[in-house]
Chain A
Amino acid sequence: MNPYSEKKSTGAVPAIEYRNVCKRFERTEGKQGRGLHVHVRKDGPSNPGSSKQEDGFFAVNDLSAAVRDGELITILGSSGCGKTTLLKMTNRLYEPDGGSILLFGEDIQKQDPVQLRRKMGYVIQQAGLFPHMTVEDNISVIPRLLKWEPARCHDRVTELLNLVGLEPDQYRNRYPSQLSGGQQQRVGLARALATKPRVMLLDEPFGAVDAITRLNLQNELLRIHRETGGTFLFVTHDIHEAFRLGNRVMIMNAGRLLQIDTPETIVRNPADPFVETLIRSALEQERFWSSTPAE
Protein backbone atom coordinates (compact mmCIF):
# COMPACT_ATOMS: atom_id res chain seq x y z
CA MET A 1 0.00 0.00 0.00
CA ASN A 2 2.77 2.33 0.90
CA PRO A 3 4.25 3.62 -2.33
CA TYR A 4 7.52 4.22 -0.53
CA SER A 5 9.17 2.25 -3.27
CA GLU A 6 12.58 2.41 -4.79
CA LYS A 7 14.83 3.39 -1.99
CA LYS A 8 18.07 2.18 -3.41
CA SER A 9 20.41 1.54 -0.57
CA THR A 10 23.10 3.94 -1.57
CA GLY A 11 23.88 4.44 2.07
CA ALA A 12 23.72 8.19 1.68
CA VAL A 13 21.26 10.23 3.70
CA PRO A 14 18.30 11.35 1.59
CA ALA A 15 18.15 15.07 0.87
CA ILE A 16 14.54 15.20 1.94
CA GLU A 17 12.61 12.50 3.68
CA TYR A 18 8.89 12.60 4.36
CA ARG A 19 7.74 10.30 7.14
CA ASN A 20 3.98 9.77 7.43
CA VAL A 21 3.35 13.45 6.84
CA CYS A 22 -0.24 14.65 7.35
CA LYS A 23 -1.80 18.05 6.97
CA ARG A 24 -5.43 18.78 7.67
CA PHE A 25 -7.28 21.92 6.75
CA GLU A 26 -10.46 23.27 8.24
CA ARG A 27 -13.39 23.44 5.91
CA THR A 28 -12.91 26.80 4.29
CA GLU A 29 -9.23 27.23 4.87
CA GLY A 30 -6.70 26.85 2.11
CA LYS A 31 -8.16 28.15 -1.12
CA GLN A 32 -5.96 25.68 -2.91
CA GLY A 33 -7.99 23.06 -1.08
CA ARG A 34 -10.58 20.98 -2.72
CA GLY A 35 -13.23 23.39 -3.82
CA LEU A 36 -15.76 20.60 -4.22
CA HIS A 37 -15.79 19.91 -0.55
CA VAL A 38 -16.36 23.34 0.90
CA HIS A 39 -19.81 22.32 1.93
CA VAL A 40 -18.69 19.75 4.47
CA ARG A 41 -20.82 20.51 7.47
CA LYS A 42 -19.28 20.51 10.86
CA ASP A 43 -21.76 18.08 12.31
CA GLY A 44 -22.52 16.38 9.04
CA PRO A 45 -21.95 12.69 8.49
CA SER A 46 -18.36 11.88 7.83
CA ASN A 47 -17.77 10.26 4.52
CA PRO A 48 -15.93 7.01 5.03
CA GLY A 49 -13.29 6.18 2.52
CA SER A 50 -12.50 9.73 1.55
CA SER A 51 -9.92 11.91 3.15
CA LYS A 52 -12.63 14.21 4.42
CA GLN A 53 -13.21 14.46 8.11
CA GLU A 54 -16.08 15.91 10.00
CA ASP A 55 -14.66 19.38 10.24
CA GLY A 56 -11.93 19.39 7.68
CA PHE A 57 -10.03 17.32 5.19
CA PHE A 58 -6.57 15.98 4.75
CA ALA A 59 -4.66 17.98 2.17
CA VAL A 60 -1.78 15.58 2.68
CA ASN A 61 -2.51 12.18 4.15
CA ASP A 62 0.12 9.87 5.59
CA LEU A 63 2.69 10.57 2.93
CA SER A 64 6.12 9.01 3.03
CA ALA A 65 8.84 9.40 0.46
CA ALA A 66 12.56 9.97 0.21
CA VAL A 67 14.30 12.28 -2.21
CA ARG A 68 17.94 11.59 -2.93
CA ASP A 69 20.53 14.32 -3.04
CA GLY A 70 20.85 15.79 -6.51
CA GLU A 71 17.55 14.47 -7.82
CA LEU A 72 15.02 16.50 -9.76
CA ILE A 73 11.68 15.24 -8.52
CA THR A 74 8.48 16.43 -10.10
CA ILE A 75 5.31 16.29 -8.04
CA LEU A 76 2.32 15.73 -10.29
CA GLY A 77 -1.33 16.05 -9.40
CA SER A 78 -4.47 17.97 -10.19
CA SER A 79 -5.20 21.16 -8.31
CA GLY A 80 -6.11 20.50 -4.71
CA CYS A 81 -4.29 17.18 -4.51
CA GLY A 82 -1.98 18.47 -1.81
CA LYS A 83 1.17 18.96 -3.84
CA THR A 84 1.56 22.65 -2.99
CA THR A 85 0.77 21.90 0.65
CA LEU A 86 3.52 19.29 0.67
CA LEU A 87 5.97 21.79 -0.76
CA LYS A 88 4.97 24.47 1.72
CA MET A 89 5.48 22.05 4.59
CA THR A 90 8.98 21.41 3.31
CA ASN A 91 10.02 24.99 4.03
CA ARG A 92 7.68 25.33 6.99
CA LEU A 93 5.28 27.81 5.43
CA TYR A 94 2.81 25.22 6.68
CA GLU A 95 3.31 23.02 9.69
CA PRO A 96 2.39 19.35 9.38
CA ASP A 97 -0.30 17.95 11.68
CA GLY A 98 1.46 14.62 11.82
CA GLY A 99 4.64 12.90 10.77
CA SER A 100 7.99 14.50 10.22
CA ILE A 101 10.16 15.88 7.45
CA LEU A 102 13.90 15.40 7.48
CA LEU A 103 16.34 17.57 5.58
CA PHE A 104 19.65 15.73 5.17
CA GLY A 105 18.67 13.58 8.12
CA GLU A 106 17.73 16.46 10.42
CA ASP A 107 14.17 17.10 11.51
CA ILE A 108 13.10 20.47 10.09
CA GLN A 109 10.75 20.91 13.02
CA LYS A 110 13.80 21.43 15.21
CA GLN A 111 15.23 24.14 12.97
CA ASP A 112 14.53 27.84 12.86
CA PRO A 113 12.05 28.38 10.00
CA VAL A 114 13.84 31.48 8.69
CA GLN A 115 17.25 29.78 8.66
CA LEU A 116 15.66 26.70 7.08
CA ARG A 117 14.10 28.74 4.28
CA ARG A 118 17.39 30.46 3.57
CA LYS A 119 18.89 27.03 2.96
CA MET A 120 16.25 26.37 0.31
CA GLY A 121 15.35 28.19 -2.86
CA TYR A 122 11.68 28.91 -3.37
CA VAL A 123 10.04 29.81 -6.66
CA ILE A 124 6.30 30.31 -7.13
CA GLN A 125 3.95 30.59 -10.06
CA GLN A 126 3.77 34.35 -10.62
CA ALA A 127 7.44 34.62 -9.64
CA GLY A 128 6.41 36.77 -6.67
CA LEU A 129 9.06 39.36 -7.50
CA PHE A 130 9.11 42.50 -5.39
CA PRO A 131 7.62 45.15 -7.70
CA HIS A 132 9.37 48.02 -5.91
CA MET A 133 12.86 46.58 -6.35
CA THR A 134 15.04 46.28 -9.43
CA VAL A 135 16.07 42.90 -10.78
CA GLU A 136 19.41 43.29 -9.04
CA ASP A 137 17.80 44.12 -5.69
CA ASN A 138 15.30 41.29 -6.06
CA ILE A 139 18.03 38.75 -6.65
CA SER A 140 20.34 40.03 -3.94
CA VAL A 141 17.70 40.57 -1.28
CA ILE A 142 18.71 37.60 0.88
CA PRO A 143 22.46 38.06 0.33
CA ARG A 144 22.00 41.67 1.50
CA LEU A 145 20.07 40.52 4.55
CA LEU A 146 22.99 38.18 5.21
CA LYS A 147 25.28 41.25 5.04
CA TRP A 148 27.31 40.19 2.05
CA GLU A 149 29.76 42.80 0.74
CA PRO A 150 28.17 44.92 -2.03
CA ALA A 151 30.81 43.79 -4.50
CA ARG A 152 30.08 40.16 -3.73
CA CYS A 153 26.34 40.75 -4.20
CA HIS A 154 27.01 42.48 -7.51
CA ASP A 155 29.17 39.64 -8.78
CA ARG A 156 26.67 37.04 -7.67
CA VAL A 157 23.87 38.87 -9.52
CA THR A 158 25.98 38.94 -12.69
CA GLU A 159 26.72 35.24 -12.32
CA LEU A 160 23.07 34.38 -11.69
CA LEU A 161 21.68 36.47 -14.54
CA ASN A 162 24.11 34.71 -16.87
CA LEU A 163 23.02 31.37 -15.44
CA VAL A 164 19.32 32.04 -16.10
CA GLY A 165 20.07 33.43 -19.57
CA LEU A 166 19.51 37.16 -19.08
CA GLU A 167 22.14 39.66 -20.21
CA PRO A 168 23.26 41.15 -16.84
CA ASP A 169 23.89 44.72 -17.93
CA GLN A 170 20.68 44.89 -19.88
CA TYR A 171 18.42 43.57 -17.15
CA ARG A 172 19.93 44.27 -13.73
CA ASN A 173 18.41 47.74 -13.34
CA ARG A 174 14.97 46.94 -14.71
CA TYR A 175 11.88 46.62 -12.59
CA PRO A 176 9.75 43.46 -12.70
CA SER A 177 6.99 45.32 -14.56
CA GLN A 178 9.43 45.92 -17.41
CA LEU A 179 9.95 42.19 -17.93
CA SER A 180 7.92 39.58 -19.78
CA GLY A 181 6.36 36.70 -17.83
CA GLY A 182 9.12 34.34 -18.87
CA GLN A 183 11.83 36.83 -17.89
CA GLN A 184 10.17 37.35 -14.51
CA GLN A 185 10.30 33.59 -13.94
CA ARG A 186 13.99 33.61 -14.81
CA VAL A 187 14.60 36.36 -12.25
CA GLY A 188 12.52 34.41 -9.72
CA LEU A 189 14.74 31.42 -10.36
CA ALA A 190 17.88 33.54 -10.01
CA ARG A 191 16.63 34.96 -6.71
CA ALA A 192 15.99 31.47 -5.37
CA LEU A 193 19.46 30.35 -6.39
CA ALA A 194 21.20 33.38 -4.86
CA THR A 195 22.65 31.72 -1.77
CA LYS A 196 23.44 28.44 -3.55
CA PRO A 197 20.82 26.39 -1.75
CA ARG A 198 21.23 22.62 -1.87
CA VAL A 199 17.46 22.25 -2.17
CA MET A 200 15.14 24.12 -4.54
CA LEU A 201 11.38 24.15 -4.15
CA LEU A 202 9.50 25.13 -7.28
CA ASP A 203 5.74 25.55 -7.14
CA GLU A 204 4.36 25.49 -10.70
CA PRO A 205 6.96 28.05 -11.71
CA PHE A 206 6.08 27.83 -15.40
CA GLY A 207 2.32 27.63 -14.92
CA ALA A 208 1.59 31.11 -16.25
CA VAL A 209 3.85 31.34 -19.30
CA ASP A 210 3.05 30.43 -22.88
CA ALA A 211 3.96 27.06 -24.36
CA ILE A 212 7.06 28.15 -26.27
CA THR A 213 8.49 30.13 -23.37
CA ARG A 214 7.72 27.21 -21.09
CA LEU A 215 9.67 24.82 -23.27
CA ASN A 216 12.67 27.16 -23.18
CA LEU A 217 12.39 27.57 -19.42
CA GLN A 218 12.17 23.80 -18.96
CA ASN A 219 15.38 23.34 -20.93
CA GLU A 220 17.06 26.07 -18.90
CA LEU A 221 15.89 24.44 -15.68
CA LEU A 222 17.35 21.09 -16.71
CA ARG A 223 20.62 22.83 -17.52
CA ILE A 224 20.62 24.74 -14.22
CA HIS A 225 19.88 21.51 -12.36
CA ARG A 226 22.81 19.85 -14.09
CA GLU A 227 25.13 22.79 -13.43
CA THR A 228 24.21 23.36 -9.78
CA GLY A 229 23.76 19.71 -8.85
CA GLY A 230 21.13 20.58 -6.26
CA THR A 231 18.04 18.70 -5.23
CA PHE A 232 14.99 20.11 -6.99
CA LEU A 233 11.35 19.56 -6.05
CA PHE A 234 9.13 20.72 -8.86
CA VAL A 235 5.36 20.89 -8.45
CA THR A 236 3.24 20.83 -11.59
CA HIS A 237 -0.16 19.74 -12.82
CA ASP A 238 1.13 19.23 -16.36
CA ILE A 239 1.87 15.56 -16.98
CA HIS A 240 4.12 16.30 -19.94
CA GLU A 241 6.17 18.73 -17.89
CA ALA A 242 6.36 16.30 -14.99
CA PHE A 243 7.54 13.38 -17.10
CA ARG A 244 9.87 15.48 -19.18
CA LEU A 245 11.72 17.10 -16.28
CA GLY A 246 11.68 14.58 -13.47
CA ASN A 247 14.39 12.06 -12.71
CA ARG A 248 11.52 10.59 -10.77
CA VAL A 249 7.88 11.62 -10.66
CA MET A 250 5.73 11.71 -7.55
CA ILE A 251 2.06 11.29 -8.41
CA MET A 252 -0.42 12.56 -5.84
CA ASN A 253 -4.17 12.43 -5.61
CA ALA A 254 -6.47 13.53 -2.77
CA GLY A 255 -3.59 14.01 -0.39
CA ARG A 256 -2.04 10.62 -0.97
CA LEU A 257 1.11 9.62 -2.74
CA LEU A 258 0.15 7.09 -5.41
CA GLN A 259 3.50 6.39 -6.99
CA ILE A 260 7.03 7.70 -7.01
CA ASP A 261 9.26 6.33 -9.70
CA THR A 262 11.12 7.09 -12.89
CA PRO A 263 8.89 8.24 -15.76
CA GLU A 264 9.65 5.04 -17.72
CA THR A 265 8.70 2.74 -14.87
CA ILE A 266 5.49 4.65 -14.20
CA VAL A 267 4.44 4.38 -17.83
CA ARG A 268 5.27 0.69 -17.90
CA ASN A 269 3.90 -0.16 -14.45
CA PRO A 270 1.28 2.26 -13.22
CA ALA A 271 0.77 1.45 -9.55
CA ASP A 272 -2.82 2.53 -9.36
CA PRO A 273 -5.96 2.95 -11.53
CA PHE A 274 -5.68 6.72 -11.17
CA VAL A 275 -2.14 6.72 -12.51
CA GLU A 276 -3.28 4.49 -15.36
CA THR A 277 -6.07 6.94 -16.27
CA LEU A 278 -3.63 9.80 -16.09
CA ILE A 279 -1.21 8.14 -18.49
CA ARG A 280 -4.00 7.10 -20.83
CA SER A 281 -5.26 10.69 -21.00
CA ALA A 282 -1.77 11.88 -21.85
CA LEU A 283 -1.51 9.27 -24.58
CA GLU A 284 -4.88 10.32 -25.97
CA GLN A 285 -3.57 13.83 -26.34
CA GLU A 286 -0.42 12.50 -27.91
CA ARG A 287 -2.51 10.61 -30.44
CA PHE A 288 -4.28 13.82 -31.42
CA TRP A 289 -1.00 15.50 -32.22
CA SER A 290 0.46 12.57 -34.15
CA SER A 291 -2.77 11.98 -36.10
CA THR A 292 -2.96 15.62 -37.13
CA PRO A 293 0.08 16.03 -39.34
CA ALA A 294 1.41 19.53 -39.50
CA GLU A 295 2.05 21.04 -42.90
Chain B
Amino acid sequence: MIKFLTRHPEKIYIPLLEHIQLVFLTLVISVAIASILTLLCMRSERLSIWLQQLLAVVYSIPSLALFAILIPVTGLGRTTAVIALTAYNQYLLLRNFTTGLQEVDSAVTDAAKGIGMTWLQVLTRVQIPLAKRALFAGIRLAVVSTIGIGTIAASINAGGLGTLLFDGLRTMNMPRILWGSILSAGLAIVTNALLKAVEDHL
Protein backbone atom coordinates (compact mmCIF):
# COMPACT_ATOMS: atom_id res chain seq x y z
CA MET B 1 0.00 0.00 0.00
CA ILE B 2 2.66 2.42 1.04
CA LYS B 3 4.70 1.34 -1.94
CA PHE B 4 1.75 2.22 -4.19
CA LEU B 5 1.56 5.62 -2.56
CA THR B 6 5.27 6.39 -3.01
CA ARG B 7 5.41 4.97 -6.51
CA HIS B 8 2.21 6.50 -7.92
CA PRO B 9 1.28 9.40 -5.67
CA GLU B 10 -0.57 11.06 -8.56
CA LYS B 11 -2.90 8.05 -8.81
CA ILE B 12 -4.08 8.86 -5.30
CA TYR B 13 -4.04 12.59 -4.92
CA ILE B 14 -5.50 13.38 -8.32
CA PRO B 15 -8.66 11.32 -7.71
CA LEU B 16 -8.85 12.80 -4.21
CA LEU B 17 -8.64 16.36 -5.53
CA GLU B 18 -11.12 15.53 -8.28
CA HIS B 19 -13.47 14.19 -5.69
CA ILE B 20 -13.20 17.27 -3.50
CA GLN B 21 -13.73 19.44 -6.56
CA LEU B 22 -16.81 17.47 -7.54
CA VAL B 23 -18.25 17.74 -4.02
CA PHE B 24 -17.51 21.44 -3.78
CA LEU B 25 -18.99 22.26 -7.18
CA THR B 26 -22.10 20.23 -6.38
CA LEU B 27 -22.43 21.90 -3.01
CA VAL B 28 -22.30 25.44 -4.36
CA ILE B 29 -24.86 24.74 -7.08
CA SER B 30 -27.06 22.71 -4.73
CA VAL B 31 -27.21 25.35 -2.03
CA ALA B 32 -27.96 28.06 -4.57
CA ILE B 33 -30.83 26.09 -6.09
CA ALA B 34 -32.15 24.88 -2.72
CA SER B 35 -32.18 28.44 -1.39
CA ILE B 36 -34.32 29.59 -4.29
CA LEU B 37 -36.64 26.61 -3.89
CA THR B 38 -36.91 27.27 -0.15
CA LEU B 39 -37.94 30.86 -0.79
CA LEU B 40 -40.57 29.69 -3.26
CA CYS B 41 -41.83 27.06 -0.83
CA MET B 42 -42.19 29.65 1.91
CA ARG B 43 -44.55 31.59 -0.28
CA SER B 44 -46.71 28.68 -1.37
CA GLU B 45 -47.76 25.80 0.83
CA ARG B 46 -49.02 23.79 -2.15
CA LEU B 47 -45.78 24.12 -4.09
CA SER B 48 -43.91 23.07 -0.97
CA ILE B 49 -45.84 19.81 -0.53
CA TRP B 50 -45.70 19.01 -4.23
CA LEU B 51 -41.98 19.74 -4.51
CA GLN B 52 -41.08 17.74 -1.40
CA GLN B 53 -42.90 14.73 -2.82
CA LEU B 54 -41.22 15.07 -6.19
CA LEU B 55 -37.79 15.39 -4.61
CA ALA B 56 -38.45 12.40 -2.37
CA VAL B 57 -39.13 10.35 -5.51
CA VAL B 58 -35.92 11.61 -7.13
CA TYR B 59 -34.00 10.82 -3.94
CA SER B 60 -35.25 7.24 -4.00
CA ILE B 61 -33.87 6.56 -7.51
CA PRO B 62 -30.70 4.43 -7.21
CA SER B 63 -27.69 6.54 -8.11
CA LEU B 64 -26.42 4.29 -10.92
CA ALA B 65 -29.88 4.42 -12.50
CA LEU B 66 -30.05 8.20 -12.27
CA PHE B 67 -26.60 8.54 -13.87
CA ALA B 68 -27.69 6.16 -16.61
CA ILE B 69 -30.88 8.10 -17.34
CA LEU B 70 -28.94 11.33 -17.68
CA ILE B 71 -26.28 9.99 -20.07
CA PRO B 72 -28.44 10.30 -23.21
CA VAL B 73 -29.26 13.88 -22.23
CA THR B 74 -26.01 15.31 -20.92
CA GLY B 75 -23.52 12.63 -21.90
CA LEU B 76 -20.67 11.13 -19.91
CA GLY B 77 -18.54 13.15 -17.55
CA ARG B 78 -18.57 15.54 -14.72
CA THR B 79 -21.54 17.69 -15.80
CA THR B 80 -23.85 14.70 -15.60
CA ALA B 81 -22.45 13.75 -12.22
CA VAL B 82 -22.96 17.24 -10.84
CA ILE B 83 -26.53 17.35 -12.12
CA ALA B 84 -27.39 14.01 -10.51
CA LEU B 85 -25.70 14.82 -7.22
CA THR B 86 -27.39 18.21 -7.12
CA ALA B 87 -30.76 16.56 -7.69
CA TYR B 88 -30.16 14.25 -4.72
CA ASN B 89 -29.09 17.13 -2.51
CA GLN B 90 -32.25 19.09 -3.15
CA TYR B 91 -34.27 16.67 -1.07
CA LEU B 92 -31.93 16.87 1.93
CA LEU B 93 -31.38 20.60 1.68
CA LEU B 94 -34.97 21.64 1.05
CA ARG B 95 -36.28 19.53 3.92
CA ASN B 96 -33.74 20.88 6.36
CA PHE B 97 -34.02 24.46 5.14
CA THR B 98 -37.81 24.62 5.28
CA THR B 99 -38.19 22.83 8.61
CA GLY B 100 -35.34 24.86 10.08
CA LEU B 101 -36.98 28.13 9.11
CA GLN B 102 -40.42 26.95 10.20
CA GLU B 103 -39.14 25.98 13.61
CA VAL B 104 -38.28 29.57 14.43
CA ASP B 105 -40.77 30.62 17.13
CA SER B 106 -43.77 32.12 15.37
CA ALA B 107 -44.12 34.69 18.18
CA VAL B 108 -40.74 36.05 17.13
CA THR B 109 -41.49 36.15 13.40
CA ASP B 110 -44.94 37.64 14.09
CA ALA B 111 -43.34 40.33 16.19
CA ALA B 112 -40.75 40.99 13.49
CA LYS B 113 -43.44 41.41 10.87
CA GLY B 114 -45.67 43.34 13.24
CA ILE B 115 -43.07 45.99 14.02
CA GLY B 116 -42.56 46.62 10.34
CA MET B 117 -39.91 44.37 8.83
CA THR B 118 -40.32 43.43 5.18
CA TRP B 119 -40.46 39.71 4.53
CA LEU B 120 -36.85 39.80 3.34
CA GLN B 121 -35.75 41.55 6.53
CA VAL B 122 -37.65 38.99 8.61
CA LEU B 123 -35.84 36.28 6.69
CA THR B 124 -32.32 37.68 6.81
CA ARG B 125 -32.37 39.32 10.23
CA VAL B 126 -34.53 36.94 12.20
CA GLN B 127 -35.27 33.60 10.60
CA ILE B 128 -31.86 32.76 9.10
CA PRO B 129 -29.83 33.82 12.17
CA LEU B 130 -32.13 31.80 14.43
CA ALA B 131 -32.22 28.79 12.12
CA LYS B 132 -28.53 28.83 11.16
CA ARG B 133 -27.73 25.59 12.94
CA ALA B 134 -30.53 23.70 11.26
CA LEU B 135 -29.53 25.21 7.91
CA PHE B 136 -25.92 24.24 8.43
CA ALA B 137 -26.91 20.73 9.51
CA GLY B 138 -28.70 20.37 6.17
CA ILE B 139 -25.57 21.42 4.33
CA ARG B 140 -23.46 18.97 6.34
CA LEU B 141 -25.78 16.09 5.50
CA ALA B 142 -25.73 17.04 1.84
CA VAL B 143 -21.91 17.20 1.75
CA VAL B 144 -21.49 13.81 3.38
CA SER B 145 -24.08 12.26 1.10
CA THR B 146 -22.39 13.80 -1.97
CA ILE B 147 -18.99 12.40 -0.93
CA GLY B 148 -20.56 8.94 -0.74
CA ILE B 149 -22.66 8.96 -3.89
CA GLY B 150 -19.84 10.79 -5.68
CA THR B 151 -17.78 7.60 -5.79
CA ILE B 152 -20.36 6.10 -8.14
CA ALA B 153 -19.83 9.06 -10.47
CA ALA B 154 -16.59 7.40 -11.62
CA SER B 155 -18.80 4.93 -13.49
CA ILE B 156 -19.72 7.69 -15.92
CA ASN B 157 -16.20 9.04 -16.29
CA ALA B 158 -16.58 11.86 -13.83
CA GLY B 159 -13.36 11.03 -12.02
CA GLY B 160 -12.91 11.10 -8.28
CA LEU B 161 -12.10 8.44 -5.74
CA GLY B 162 -14.50 6.06 -7.45
CA THR B 163 -11.96 5.62 -10.26
CA LEU B 164 -9.49 4.14 -7.80
CA LEU B 165 -12.15 1.76 -6.54
CA PHE B 166 -13.48 0.73 -9.91
CA ASP B 167 -10.00 0.30 -11.42
CA GLY B 168 -8.90 -1.64 -8.37
CA LEU B 169 -11.91 -3.94 -8.52
CA ARG B 170 -11.50 -4.57 -12.24
CA THR B 171 -7.84 -5.52 -11.92
CA MET B 172 -8.16 -6.94 -8.38
CA ASN B 173 -5.47 -4.49 -7.32
CA MET B 174 -5.61 -4.54 -3.54
CA PRO B 175 -3.70 -1.27 -2.84
CA ARG B 176 -6.05 0.62 -5.15
CA ILE B 177 -9.15 -0.89 -3.57
CA LEU B 178 -7.85 -0.09 -0.10
CA TRP B 179 -6.77 3.45 -0.92
CA GLY B 180 -10.10 4.10 -2.63
CA SER B 181 -12.11 2.78 0.30
CA ILE B 182 -10.06 4.41 3.02
CA LEU B 183 -9.94 7.78 1.31
CA SER B 184 -13.64 7.96 0.42
CA ALA B 185 -14.74 6.78 3.86
CA GLY B 186 -12.10 8.93 5.54
CA LEU B 187 -13.06 12.01 3.54
CA ALA B 188 -16.70 11.57 4.56
CA ILE B 189 -15.89 10.99 8.23
CA VAL B 190 -13.38 13.82 8.52
CA THR B 191 -15.58 16.30 6.66
CA ASN B 192 -18.55 15.38 8.81
CA ALA B 193 -16.54 15.82 12.00
CA LEU B 194 -15.15 19.17 10.86
CA LEU B 195 -18.54 20.51 9.82
CA LYS B 196 -20.09 19.21 13.03
CA ALA B 197 -17.48 21.11 15.01
CA VAL B 198 -18.30 24.29 13.09
CA GLU B 199 -22.00 23.67 13.60
CA ASP B 200 -21.58 23.32 17.35
CA HIS B 201 -19.90 26.70 17.45
CA LEU B 202 -22.72 28.45 15.65
Q: Which residues of A contact B (CB under 8 A)?
A: 91, 93, 114-118, 121-122, 124-132, 141-142, 145, 188, 191-192, 201
Contact = CB atoms under 8 A, between A and B. Distances in A.
A129 B108 contact: yes
A122 B114 contact: yes
Q: Sorted from nearest, which 5 A-B pairs have the closest CB atoms?
A: A128-B111, A118-B116, A122-B114, A117-B116, A128-B107
Nearest to B119: A114
A142 B116 contact: yes
B45 to A, nearest CB: 12
Contacts of B121: 145
A115 B111 CA distance: 15
Is the interface on chain B under 10, 10 to 19, 20 to 34, or 35 or more residues? 10 to 19
Interface string B59-91: 000000000000000000000000000000000
A201 B114 CA distance: 10
Given A130-B126, A131-B130, A132-B129, A142 B108 contact: no
B106 to A, nearest CB: 9
B111 A129 contact: yes
A93 B117 contact: no
B195 interface: no
Overall SS of chain A's interface: mixed
B110 A142 contact: no
Contact of A124 (B114, B117, B125, B130): B114
Nearest to B118: A114
Contacts of B130: 130-132
Nearest to A31: B106
Given A129-B108, A131-B130, A141-B125, A191 B115 contact: yes
A234 B113 CA distance: 19
Contacts of A115: 116
Given A141-B125, A145-B121, A128 B108 contact: yes
20 contacts: A91-B114, A93-B110, A114-B116, A114-B117, A115-B116, A118-B115, A122-B114, A122-B115, A124-B110, A126-B107, A128-B111, A128-B112, A129-B108, A130-B108, A131-B130, A132-B129, A141-B125, A142-B115, A145-B116, A145-B121
Overall SS of chain B's interface: helix
Which of B113, B118, B130 lies at the interface centre, i.e. has the most chain A CB atoms within 10 A of its CB? B113
Interface string B95-115: 000000000010110111111
B110 A128 contact: yes
Contacts of B107: 124-126, 128
A145 B124 CA distance: 12
Nearest to B130: A132
Nearest to A124: B111
Given A125-B107, A188-B111, 7 more contacts: A93-B113, A114-B118, A115-B116, A117-B114, A124-B111, A128-B105, A132-B129
Contacts of B114: 91, 93, 117, 122, 124, 128, 201
A118 B113 CA distance: 10
Contacts of B126: 130
A118 B108 CA distance: 16
A121 B114 CA distance: 8
